Amino acid sequence: MLTALENRVGNLEESVGNMKEMLELVEGRTDGFDSMEEHLREFVLDSLGANAEKMNELVNSTTEKLAERDETLEDMVLAMKKEIEELKGELTTYKATLSNGMFFSKLKQQAICSQIGEVHG
């Protein structure tokens, strides 16, 4: 019975030894995973940082271009408003000239008609 017990203890010690070897093997492989995880994390963060920089550059460039276009459009609107005011002034002048021309034309017609009436009368 003592021999059987000693054999069982021997078997248990051998099993524990095998388990320790297996545990060391697994821990060695998980250390590699930890290292790979850290490298992957660094790669992802670097990639995100680079992409964020590119996106910021693109946003800044687009903002600058839009600001330039906005300024150009504002200048165009001001020039158009000035031209509209000038055209309104010219239109007023033409209207006045046309009104005066019509007034003088009526006066001429009346004068001619009265001269014709005097000649016939």
Q: What is the rounded distance in angstroms from the CA atom of residue 79 to the CA atom of residue 96?
A: 26
pLDDT for residue 82: 96
Neighbours of 50 (CB within 10 A): 10
Across the 121 residues of the chain, what is the mean pLDDT of every consecutive 10-residue run?
A: 78 82 78 79 86 90 94 95 94 83 69 67 56
SS3 call for 59: helix
pLDDT for residue 63: 93
pLDDT for residue 26: 78
**Strand extents, DSSP E, the chain:** none
